[in-house]
Amino acid sequence: MIGCVFRTLSAGLFLVGWFQVDTKAKDVVVAEVTRGTATLSAQQHSTPSPIVSYDFNEGKGNVVHDRVGQFEHVDLVIRDQASVKWIAGGLQINSAVELVTEAAAKEMIQTLKKSGAFAIEAWIEVDEFSQSGPARLISLSKDPSHRNFTLGQDEDRFDFRLRTTKRDRNGMPSTAAPEGSLEGGRVHVLVTRGSSGEMDVYQNGHLLSHALVPGNLGNWDENFRLAVGNEVGGGRPWEGRIFRVSIYDQDLDEGQAFQLYQEGSEGEGRLSAEQIKLAEQHQFFRDHVAPLLSNHCLECHDAAIRQGELDLSSKSGWQLGGDSGPLMANGDSEGAVDPSGSLIWERVVSDEMPHERAPLSAEEKQTLYRWLVDGGVWAFETIDPAIYRHRARTGEVWVQRLTIDEYIATVKATFGVDIEDEARKWLPADVRADGFSNTSYNMSVDLKHVEAYQKLAESVVEKLDVLKFAARFGKSRKLSTDDTMREQIEKIGRWVLRGPISKSEQIDYSGVATTVASVGGDFELAIACVVEAMIQSPRFIYRVEYQRGSGLSRKVSQHEIANRLSYILWGASPDEELASLADRGGLRDVIVLDQQIDRMLKDNRAVERSLKFIEDWLNLGRLQNLRPDPERFPEWNQVLATQMRQETLDYFVEVIWTQGRPLSDLLNAQLSILDPELAAFYQLPAGSTKTQNLAGGQRVRYDLSNVSGRGGILTQASVLTIGGDNASMVSRGLFVLHDLLRGVVNAPPPCVNTTPPATALGLTQRSIAEARIADSTCGVCHVRFEPLAFGLEKFNGIGAYHQTDRHGNQLRDDGEILFPGKADPVKYEGVGELMDLLAASERVKQSLTWKVVQFSLGRPLTAVDAEQVEAIHAMCQERGGGYRELMRSLIHSDLVQKIQTEQSR
Amino acid sequence: MSGQVNRRTILRGAGTIAVGLPFLEEMSGSASFACKAGESDVVPKRAFNLFFGLGIPSPLQQEGYDGVLEPLKPLKDKLLILRGVDHLRADEKGINAHYDGATAAFTAEPPDGEAKAGGPSIDQVIRHAAHPDGLPSGMVPTLVAGTFFRRSRVGRYVHSYNMNGTVAATMQERPRDLFERVFGRVDHLDGSDPRRQRLRRSVLDSVLEQYKHMVGTRSPLGSTSKSRVSEHLDRVREYEQRAYGVQARMAGAPDTPDRSMLLHGGSADPGGEGIDLTVDELVSEWRLMADLYATAVKMDRARFGSLTFLAAGERIRLKGDYHYQDRKLFAFDDAGQRQASGSKGCSHEWWHEFRENQANEALRAHAHLKMRELAYFLQALDGPDAVDGNGKTILDNSLITISTESGDGRHNDVQRELSGVFHAITGANGRFSTGQILDVNAEGLDVYNTVTEAMGASYRMGPKDRVHQPTHGLLT
């Protein structure tokens, strides 16, 4: 599992380092710690503040003070000073003693009840490994048998008791760490439980145990006191040294547990004031300055264009300045700068810059001013404008409605019923937004959806063998909503709605069964109606997750991860094995999780899901709508269009799944799978066939190693048609720029005619494009993307390959490619070389990762995601760069393992 | 195409609507259903965004009603033409006005994604202020419809956005879709089996309960997600209402219109290459849409929404003679006149080639046609069958904001492209100073906020800390 650790600062968050869970050793390994050379991130992970905290630094006296001060009456009184000894940074407990609040910790208890989630942390040293009872380390209780919670030592492991509405007043059964897990020396222990009931016990940053403790904290007694080192009232003493105890009103995730451990018992791992200041400056740069420079300056002042010899896309370029000299005035002894003397400020405040563009707003100028005053600190070496394309809406989490494909697959997985024809006929089409048709913010609902869902529910039930289906969840066929049937409904609900259902849901669905009974219906009809209601419920139509919480990110629950796993890999609901593992909490085990990923990737549904990606990404559906000019393209027909689409899909399966090659090989794999008509259209030379017919059909796999022009996804007609009838270099070039290089290009500059001249004798698309690039106003942008399409000039508007155009002009396919962020273009001699350059490009590999991740998550990626996506990409590349590896890396990442919560009001 | 399309010949069953539909009977005399429902002295607030694609270059707007605005002249006393409205803040780098300008129309903010505006549209701001707890039962909360073909981004053709910037309602792009959305009866109850009816009711009750729970205080969802499920709940309620509440009244509903003969969905936008279309085909379908939309308004089934006549950056190759008031103004033949096929043969290109010192004959004809068709819709709300309780027509009483994506189609000067975007508003029951052409020379946000404020909304569009500068000239 990969993730990153952040620390809370006044102005934001600080990346401490990456951590990785070695799935084989089941251990936490710090892969890289960048302490000191901090990288800032707007990521959501952070360590929250405790509501009560004791640092045992008093050194004398009989009171241990709460250092937070949020509540009254939570200082601990040492009842017998002779039993303890103050030591450096802590307290040694030598014999039975109570450290207990003088009064009930009422306010604290109320706060925890309201939150529904908590975490309890302690730093201790244990000498005696035979203590039992368990020996009370921290207890919020009344006596040995009445508690809200108790963290104790039971010989060589920790034990935690928790009272909930589903646990007795003694908090039994308890959650115990594995036998023998308690370590010697100074130990950090953290128990954390979310409002969903998921509880984890960590020791020194490692996850020791996980359990689902059902119920909520509504029955906690507000009259209990907090005790350390013994039970309230005595009788369960603990001995050892204690250095810190903290209580939080929220659950903490794995990264936060690791981070708290990293900070150390006395905060020795905390950042210095200088580090904090630097971190704040980095944060400011990342969140405010980099987007500003990206949006307003890099059009003319990036590594490629460097107008005025100024490159503002890199730290080194910033430091060098341009033709007019350095950008910054010298700072004072503490680095503070007077911006009024800096060149960049002069140009911006006077609206001289951005040149011939809208001036910066007052707010943006203020941002720049503040940054300059602070010394113009950069957080990283290079600004990538692509990550600022989508304005981050931190905390805005859209529930995902099932796409039509997902709905069909979910019905199939849940009931074994094929509803495809009806669903495609009745459900309104999913509309593309930001490159994909599963973009959650855009998946709104209309009356037609509601009507379709109702009709589909009826169809599903009509096609379902209701009694056989019901038999999976119980033997009874008795229509009795008071006993067996309610249990059956609970089980059916758990399956159909992809997770446990609440009491109120049980009651509601039982009500449907009751109505059936009241009209003289039977068991079968009752189950049919219940299922019909469930299929129309939001929990079926949407992928509902628990989004409320502290406002920070949290680890997703077992059923949430099961669903994420299933929809990402299959585009369908979890199967029985996955659902069963989620019920048992088995997916917390990274080895089990990996086994499941492997199992699911071997299933054909994973292939089908990946094909949805390629189809959506390349918008292959548009091929059915194309109507090229029949006079110019008489060979075009719908059969050919269908075969073009199929070529790309087959190619993807062959390269990615059959041959298991990296995603970037899609750009230059020298093969294709073609129907006879398409092969004829491509005019492949005789003898280029290498392998057999596929699956007994007409399609044949061709080896293209010796075929000039073809080889790679960009040379397939399905993609080449993006250029329209005129094989527009602008359209093709922009596709490569946006979809393969994640490049950014601005709108045309002033005073140019954007209507290109038509080709003619002596005037090719290439020469027209070159004229645009040579133009001082157009070339600034066109040089970034049109040369990307030069290599494709020999392909006409529908993807046929020619050496001359319709006017008889000789066509070329040499050119040069300028990778985003690079200063110098790279030349290529033909389309094959262009494809090889793209396939080898790290930028292209990154872009493919971004595209797959966007599709998998169902939302556009923003600057907030950039760190995680890069980590996923790095992990994927390390493992080979294939689709399977990308899926594994993605699923282990925080983008899947965690959810951004919204603070409950 | 000559003269106006006869509604009765196009809208099969239009006579049924006009005479036989109970809603319309209620409407006659006192104009709207709302008046019957206890609002006899109160004119309901209505706000609609009327969009047309490709815009009118600023210099042509200066010609007033003597130029391409001629078809609006008969309505000039009921319109306030606004010149000099700019949406510069909507500029998104790398995106021309067909995207950002189109999304800024009625929102005055840059897009926040291909299918998301940077904020709410005028109609929705007014809707939320006027009906914070939802519209009266039986109404379509927001009606979004249009005749258009280009669809590469939703912002090109949808012009009504929720408070969070997402689309306010699903686009109804076929007359039959629009008809069913407004007048359609949910086929939920199948006749005489009372037992089956009761069970269906029970299932629907359960579904409603689940949606209510999902938006209630104990919902697991955050506010953003809740807003989506809340929309869904509204649709389920509407479904319920149609299935049970209005069933009897819908019994006299007219037959559905014939199937559209034009291209829709993905095939209407073949790879951005444009489609061939005759003037008759375009106008016939549009007028049917306009009639249906106007009927929905007159029957008080819709008070808020948007109507689109051709998308932003629309790509059509139009053919056919164009007449206005028995004068033949132009013979459309975009592909022939441009001597090009595909996208290069589309009318869109006339906008790219606009030159102030040239005749721009084809562009003028296209723009004139658009104004004629907008006028057709406006006039449908201005007839004797569209009189509200206060004796004025719905056109007089409503806020209808007309706009487009740019003030210049050449994509070569952001300042020029996103400035001088054509706007016109209706009087909204005397709130706005109609009967004039006003050079407001103001930012769109200020104009819009002035409009919404006058309509009783306190919500301010745009950045929270922005100082609003009212454009007083709009107000009476």
- The tens digit of pLDDT for each residue in A12-54 reads 333 333 344 433 333 333 333 232 223 333 333 345 689 999 9
pLDDT at residue B330, rounded to an integer:
96
Q: B214–A544: do the CB atoms touch at under 8 Å?
A: yes
Chain A residues close to B242, C-beta within 8 Å: 447
Which residues are A90's β-sheet partners?
Answer: A87
* Sign for the pseudo-dihedral over CA of A387, A391, A393, A396: negative
What's the gap in Å between the CA of A437 and the closest CA on chain B? Answer: 11
* Amino acid (one-letter) located at B60: L
On the question of pLDDT at A905 being above 60, the answer is no
The overall longest dimension of chain B from CA atoms, in Å, is 75
Q: Render pLDDT for B193-240 as a digit per residue (tens, 0 to 9).
A: 777 877 888 899 899 999 999 998 888 899 999 999 999 999 998 888
Q: What is the pLDDT of residue B186?
A: 65
Q: Which residues of A touch B348 (CB under 8 A)?
A: none
Q: Provide φ and ψ at A226, rounded to 5°.
A: -100, 130
**Inter-residue contact B457 to B125 (CB < 8 Å):** yes
Q: Taking CB atoms and an 8 Å limit, are B94 and A429 in contact across chains?
A: no
Mean pLDDT of A718-729: 92
DSSP B167: B
Which residues from A are below 8 Å from B465, CB to CB?
363
State pTM to two decimals: 0.73
Enumerate the residues of chain B whose CB falls inside 8 A of the CB of residue A624.
266-267
Q: Minimal Cα distance from A905: which residue of B? A: B217
B203 and A626 within 8 Å at the Cβ level: the answer is no
Sequence spans of domains, chain A: 2-47, 52-251, 299-382, 404-548, 552-604, 623-840, 842-903
Does residue B63 surpass a pLDDT of 80?
yes
Of B169, B220, B340, the CB nearest to A548: B220
> What fold, for A52-251?
Jelly Rolls (2.60.120)
Inter-chain CB pairs, A–B, below 8 Å: 242
Least CB–CB distance from B228: residue in A299, A398, A750: A398
Please name the residues in contact with A697: beta carbons below 8 A apart, sequence gap of 6 or more.
Answer: none
What average pLDDT does chain A have? Answer: 86
CB contact (8 A) between residue B465 and residue A363: yes
Q: Which of A434, A507, A618, A625 to mutate to test the interface with B (most CBs of B within 10 A)?
A: A625
Element (H, E) at B381: none
Q: What is the pLDDT of residue A863?
A: 84
Instruction: For residue B214, give the nearest of A434, A538, A724 by CB distance.
Output: A538
Nearest chain B Cα distance for residue A151, angstroms: 29
Contact criterion met (CB < 8 Å) for A450 and B343: no
Contact residues on chain A for B95, CB-CB shorter than 8 A: 747
Tell me how far apart the alpha carbons of residues A563 and A571 are, in angstroms, rounded to a whole number. Answer: 10
Q: Which residue of A has its CA nearest to B354?
A: A753
**Amino acid found at B349:** E
pLDDT reading at A752 higher than 60: no
- Using one digit for the tens of pLDDT, what is the confidence trace for A693-708? 555 567 888 999 888 8
* A358 interaction partners in chain B (CB closer than 8 Å): 88-89, 91, 414-415
CB atoms near residue B304 (< 10 Å): 32
Percent of chain A beyond pLDDT 90? 50
**Residue among A621, A745, A902 minimizing CB distance to B222:** A902
Please, are residues B100 and B110 in contact by the beta-carbon 8 Å criterion?
yes
pLDDT in tens, B1-23: 333 333 333 333 332 233 223 33
In this predicted structure, the answer to whether residue B252 has a pLDDT above a threshold of 60 is no
Q: Under a CB-based contact definition with an 8 Å cutoff, are residues A408 and A420 in contact? A: yes
Residue B461 has which token pair?
């569009």
Please provide the DSSP assignment of A734-753 as one string.
Answer: HHIIIIIS--------TT--
The alpha carbon of residue B184 is apart from the nearest alpha carbon of chain A, in Å, by 10
Q: How many CB atoms are located within 10 Å of the residue A178 CB?
A: 13
Backbone torsions φ then ψ of B264, nearest 5 degrees? -140, 170
Q: Tell me which residue in B195, B205, B229 faces A538 most closely, judged by beta carbons.
A: B229
- Does the distance separating the beta carbons of B238 and A629 come in below 8 Å? no
Q: Could you tell me the two tokens for B170?
A: 């699903």
Which residue is closest to B346 within chain A, CA to CA? Answer: A755
Q: Name the residue in chain B with its Cα closest to that of A392.
A: B112
What are the extents of the domains in chain B?
Answer: 7-180+256-474, 186-246
Partners of B91 on chain A (C-beta within 8 Å) are: 358, 747
Lowest mean pLDDT among A398-412, B30-44, B252-266: B30-44
Q: How far is A748 from chain B (nearest CA, A)?
A: 5
Question: pLDDT by residue (tens digit) across A835-882?
Answer: 999 999 999 999 999 999 999 999 999 888 888 999 999 999 999 999
- Output the six-digit token pair for A568: 């990402």
CATH no. for B7-180+256-474: 3.40.720.10
Residue A556 has pLDDT above 60, yes or no: yes
pLDDT tens digits along A323-378? 877 777 666 656 666 777 788 888 888 888 888 777 888 888 999 988 888 888 88
Is there a contact between B225 and A399 if contact means CB atoms under 8 Å apart?
yes
Q: How far is B388 from chain A (nearest CA, A)?
A: 28
How far apart are the C-alpha atoms of A719 and A739, rounded to whole Å? 12
Q: Which of B153, B239, B265 sits opposite A450 (nearest CB)?
A: B239
User: Residue B115 and residue A439: Cβ atoms within 8 Å?
Assistant: yes
Span A627-646, average pLDDT = 94
Chain B residues whose CB is inside 8 A of the A497 CB are none
Contacts of A546 in chain B (CB under 8 A): 220
Mention every residue, 6+ apart, whose C-beta is less than 8 A from residue A310. A301, A317, A321, A322, A323, A324, A327
The predicted pLDDT at position A594 comes to: 95
